[in-house]
Chains A and B, each alone.
Chain A
Amino acid sequence: MRVLEAIFLVFINPLFYKITLTAATPLIFASLGGVYSEITGVVNIALEGIMLMSAFTSVVFTYLSGNVWVGVLMAVISGLAFSWIHAWGSIKWAGNQVVLGTALILIAQGVTGFLMEPIFGKPGQTDFVGKVEELKIPGLSNVPFFGKIFGELSPFVYMAFAAVAFSWWLIYKTKLGLRMRAVGENPEAADTLGINVFGIRYFGVLMSGVWAGLAGAYLSIGEVGHFRELMTGGRGFIALAAMILGKYNPVGAMLASILFGASSAFANQMQSSSLIHVSATVKPLFDMIPFILTIIVVAGFVGKSRAPKADGIPYEKAS
């Protein structure tokens, strides 16, 4: 009964909803990145690596410039640069996209670990370099319940939702979006209609770098203000699962990200519940919850989520 009571208390605690939003934010950005890349037909396992690179780059440039927004900008640029490598290997050279993605993750882990010592003088973790300030909405913080949720949130949270709205409009309401979807479904037909298949695919992958870059920036200078080795901790893959669950649609990916955010917020709040007293030993079992949920979701409900037809297949012009 104490467990039920603890669960009930978690759900009526505004902190649970606030943590859900903040935990969902990097997943929303990264899963959007997945949507852009995969609807044009390029599988992007590299999201995890792009996030890691950007998280690191944003900390480096915040450290060098003293301005967090320079850090955010450089995170986006590094996301673009790193995803360009993925695009180059998988579009121009028609490489195996899944394997290229794992290679880029390894390179990102190596590069960020490698550069930490020359730049910050110590391995493992950087010093605190600064953090993007929370957005305080005057008056709102005094409102009961909602004030505790929305009163003081990172601007990244609002940016993530704005990005979803923009992406939905771009993908479903513009000519460019139509072309992206056409290229992912049937590149041969798109090519016959005069659409530049390679160009559109480059656009999709590069945009995934922009969004994954913001996801990485949020993890480091958005949330904690420093960089830690391997700090993405599998979120890139959870984002991929969110994208699949969201049926390759920006709004669906957002909803799925919120579901995963809620599951980790739930694990987090249950761990600190005073009612059931979770010992340090049992904590790892709670940490498993989001990952188990991902498997259930990918296997269970997603039977019907259909990937774009040409997803993962390199396009080669018939010559």
Chain B
Amino acid sequence: MNKRFSAILIPIISVLIALAISTVIILLIGKNPLTAYSALIRGSFGSKQAIADTIIKTTPLILTGLAVGFGFRAGVFNIGAEGQMVMGALIAAAFAGNFGFLPPIIAIPLTILIAMAVGAGYAAIAGFLKAKTGAHEVVTTIMLNWIATYFASYMVTGPLKVGSGTPKSPEIANSAQLPILMKVGAIEVSAGIIIAVVAAIFMYILLNKSTTGYEIKAVGFNPYAAEYGGISVSKNIILAMAISGALAGLAGATELMGVHHRFLGELSGGKGFDGISIALIGQNNPIGIIFAALLIGALRTGSNEMQFVGVPKHMVMIIQGIVIFLVAADRIVRTIMIRKKVTK
């Protein structure tokens, strides 16, 4: 089968199988799947508000998807996008509260840069440990996620705390907030979506047109051959983790500067983990990742509406899990496709 064709077909069929399984589950709890799915679609694309909400949810997902996807291309499995995103946004929030004296043209890039640098540095810890001691990045990045979560909860209930209720940091300066592109009722779509799309294009160029990208891909493809070819494996592992972390930090920045304007108790809410599904569904291709993020973003937005018709929003996690499973074990899907051909 044509390689490019199957790269698109496998994720699509996986999504369809996942929907079929979730239909059975919804039937089992005695609800109407058609009602549930129409609520899901209405909730994500049914109105101007819904579309605006979907764009807002998709923005950080494109970036965490790029973060994980970039890692995959380099042969590292960055489960830590969650923690890198939290740390980036948290530290940027701590600084950007004081940027009132700076004009936006300096305050905005500066805040973004801080979030990206912190994300890169936090991810580089795992990269460094993998390169130098062989510590598996899956274990270290998960641990760094937990540490980031507890650190953030310490910061917003302690040194950064303002007001009562939900733990939160002070609001960042007006000049550090991203410009608004579109306003629907109380929902504001910021320029974050443009940043995310530009990042995807940048990643495409980096991977396909630059020496760095070539080296990183070579290490990911076969570290032994790369080493033999004079490419430093450990340098590239650390670099790949850092770039991956910078993208996750950027996801934190768009959330901070475009949506909440402050660090809230739980900023990430699983977006780092969603990055894994998005990278897989998008087959680590930057353009594919944009569409995969839109799919997951729409599912997340619509799931609230689905909850109103009596189907718990956890359904979306199940669908996502099944899709990842099928894309990882893609031979299941291939076998189904071949069988279909034979029976024809």
Report which A residues bind B (CB closer than 8 A): 45, 85, 89-90, 93-96, 98-100, 102-111, 113-114, 116-118, 123, 234, 237, 240-241, 244, 280-282, 284-285, 287-288, 291-292, 294-295, 298-300, 302-303
Q: Which of B151, B277, B280, B314 contacts A111, CB < 8 Å? A: B314
B133 in the interface, Cβ–Cβ < 8 Å? yes
Given contacts A103-B324, A106-B273, A298-B140, contact A113 B317 (CB under 8 A): yes
Query: Is B276 among interface residues, defined by CB-CB distance under 8 A?
Result: yes
Whether the Cβ atoms of B146 and A288 lie closer than 8 Å is yes
A237 & B157 in contact (Cβ 8 Å cutoff):
no
Shortest A10–chain B CB gap in Å is 20
**Interfacial residues, chain B to chain A (CB-CB below 8 A):** 25, 29, 77, 79, 129, 133-136, 138-140, 142-144, 146-147, 150-151, 153-154, 157-158, 161, 273, 276-277, 280, 312, 314-322, 324-325, 327-332
**B29 contacts A118, CB within 8 Å?**
yes
Q: How distant is the Cα of A186 from the Cα of B55 in the complex, in angstroms? A: 50
The answer to whether A104 and B329 have CB atoms under 8 Å apart is: no
* Cross-interface CB contact of A99 among B136, B147, B151, B276, cutoff 8 Å: B276
The verdict on A103 contacting B129 (CB below 8 Å), with A240-B139, A285-B150 known, is no
Q: Is the CB of A303 within 8 A of B317?
A: no
In the complex, what residue of chain A is closest to B25 when comparing beta carbons? A114
The reply to whether A110 and B315 contact each other, CB–CB distance below 8 Å, is yes
Task: List, in ascending order, chain A residues with CB within 8 A of B315's CB.
Answer: 110, 114
Determine the distance from Cα of A264 to Cα of B296 in the docked complex, in whole angstroms.
Answer: 36
Closest CB of chain A to B262's CB: distance in Å?
Answer: 18
Please judge, given known A-B contacts A95-B331, A104-B321, whether A234 and B146 are in contact too, CB under 8 Å.
yes
Main secondary structure of the interface of B (DSSP, over half): helix
A247: min CB distance to chain B, Å: 14
Residues of A within 8 A of B324 (CB): 99-100, 102-103, 106
Residues of A within 8 A of B330 (CB): 95
* Other contacts beyond A103-B325, A107-B318, A299-B129: 10, CB < 8 A: A85-B325, A95-B332, A99-B280, A106-B321, A106-B324, A288-B150, A292-B147, A295-B140, A300-B133, A303-B134
Contact A94 B316 (CB under 8 A): no
Are A106 and B320 within 8 A (Cβ)? Answer: yes
A301 and B316 CA atoms in complex are apart in Å by 40
CB-based nearest A residue for B280: A99
Output the nearest chain A residue to B129 by Cβ-Cβ distance: A299
Known contacts A107-B318, A284-B151, A298-B135; A113 and B79 CB within 8 A of each other = no
Query: Is A110 a contact partner of B314 (Cβ separation < 8 A)?
Result: yes
Complex contact B158–A282 (CB within 8 A):
yes
Cβ contact within 8 Å between A111 and B134: no
Q: Whole-angstrom distance between the alpha carbons of A7 and B135 in the complex?
A: 30
Q: What is the CA–CA distance of A104 and B320 in the complex, to the nearest angstrom?
A: 10
Q: Are A109 and B328 touching (Cβ within 8 A)?
A: no
Contact B139 A244 (CB under 8 A): yes
State A109–B331 Cα separation when bound (angstroms).
Answer: 25
Cβ contacts under 8 Å, B331 to chain A: 93-95
Output the nearest chain A residue to B335 by Cβ-Cβ distance.
Answer: A93
Whether A93 contacts B332 by the Cβ 8 Å rule is yes
In the bound complex, do residue B329 and residue A111 qualify as a contact, i.e. CB atoms below 8 Å apart? no
Q: Which residue of B lies closest to A300 (CB)?
A: B133
With A118-B29, A298-B140, A299-B129 already in contact, the answer to whether A106 and B317 are too (CB < 8 A) is yes
Q: How far is the CA of A113 from the CA of B316 in the complex (A)?
A: 11
Partner of A107, one of B138, B161, B325, B327: B325
